Amino acid sequence: MINFETTEMVKQIKDMLHGMTKDIMRPIARYYDEHEHVRPKELDAFGPIMQAGMGGGRKKGKKEKKGITQTEDRIGTAAISVAGAEELAWGDVGLMLAMPGSGLGNAAIDAVATDEQYERFGKKYSAMAITEPGCGSDASAVTTTAVLDGDEYVLNGEKIFVTDGDRCDAVVVWATLDKTKGRAAIKSFVVEKGTPGFRVEKLEKKCGIRASDTATLVFEDCRIPKDNLLGDPEIRPEGGFKGVMKTFDNTRPLVAAMALGCARAAFEFTRDALEKEGIEVRYDRGMSKQSAIEKDLIWMDANLEVMRLLIERAVWMADNGRSNNLEASMSKAKAGKYGNLIVQKCVELLGPIGYSQKYLVEKWMRDNKVNDIYEGTQQIQMLVIARRILGYGRDMLS
């Protein structure tokens, strides 16, 4: 049975981060939105929190509890991470992504790395490089190559739209060991900054999350130790790609929580602004007796709660050793789409206030769009959900 009661630890973390984001992030959000690519030094205080993963890392060992195989050290860590992500995104999505210490690559390391690799790379600020100029939503189509040469892999290829690609300490790069063997040959590799043959080619100028750097990375005969390949180096026809894709089961609920946090920020601002004008939601009245604005606010409030419940379900399954591939995609699909719809509705209800740069609502609308794009677009989530529910293979859906 899923327990939706918030633990005291999660409450304390949310309260602490809420205060920090309100006092530190909100006041500087506009400045770094207008000064793209400037590193927000004010966030250095968050470094230790991000490096701790808001969950204390992982240890060896598994145990059985009430018939469920659980990883001993991960019970509660996914829930803690998404709770922290929600509050940080409530402060500012762009600044959250600019936090020093923990990037999306760290989720890949946590999901796939051996214990020895986790000891080496788990605390490095790591970006994740998947997308290429000719490879976007279909992560299995990567063309970056990794060729074993003695005790080293030689990487060649280009990655684009890499979040934290410039400021990170290391990058988790998806590459193929053999293009003729398809998905099974795709593995993830840790490439540390400063490695010869690895360079940051350029930084993107973006519509939103402008405080975060988004980079193009190039690998030209970039040599890394062979034990920098995360997990199993063998090419297995069945299931080889699943280890790499497990990364998304970790990151999609996190992105969903970011969408929830940003949408919640817009909703709360809108609700409070309308209350100052004498417009309050009367929950005790039937729909026929409520105003159009009240119905809009109730619709937003209800969808925020649905988003939260789907996220909590996905992370509860992760914390209790259950496969959450379907649930992770469901949480990402719902939060990605409705997070955007909620913020857009807030801008609409607020009129000139919502569109003015005097306030952050228009910024939240620009920022939240990315949460429906990266870590798998809305369309990709629908395909994953359909495959899982209907039992279809990738060739049966288009």
* Residues identified as active-site: 375
| Rounded Cα gap, residues 102 and 122, in angstroms | 9
Residue 354, helix vs strand vs coil: helix
- Buried b / exposed e over 96-131, threshold 16 CB at 10 Å, is bbbbbbbbbbbbbbbbbbeeebbebbbbbbbbbbbb
Q: E strands along 195-274, which residues?
A: 198-203, 214-225
For residues 142 and 179, give the distance between their C-alpha atoms in angstroms, rounded to a whole number. Answer: 9
Neighbouring residues of 346: CB distance < 8 A, sequence distance ≥ 6 = 266, 267, 269, 270, 300, 354, 361, 364, 365
DSSP 22: I
How do the residues of the chain divide into helix, strand and coil, expressed in percent and rounded to 5?
Answer: 55, 15, 30
Distance CA 341, CA 346 (A): 9
In sequence order, what are the beta bridge partners of 224? 153
The helix (H) or strand (E) run that includes residue 134 is none
Q: Which structure tokens are listed for 87?
A: 């509050």
Partners of 358 in beta bridges: none
CA angle 247–193–93, rounded 5-degree value: 55
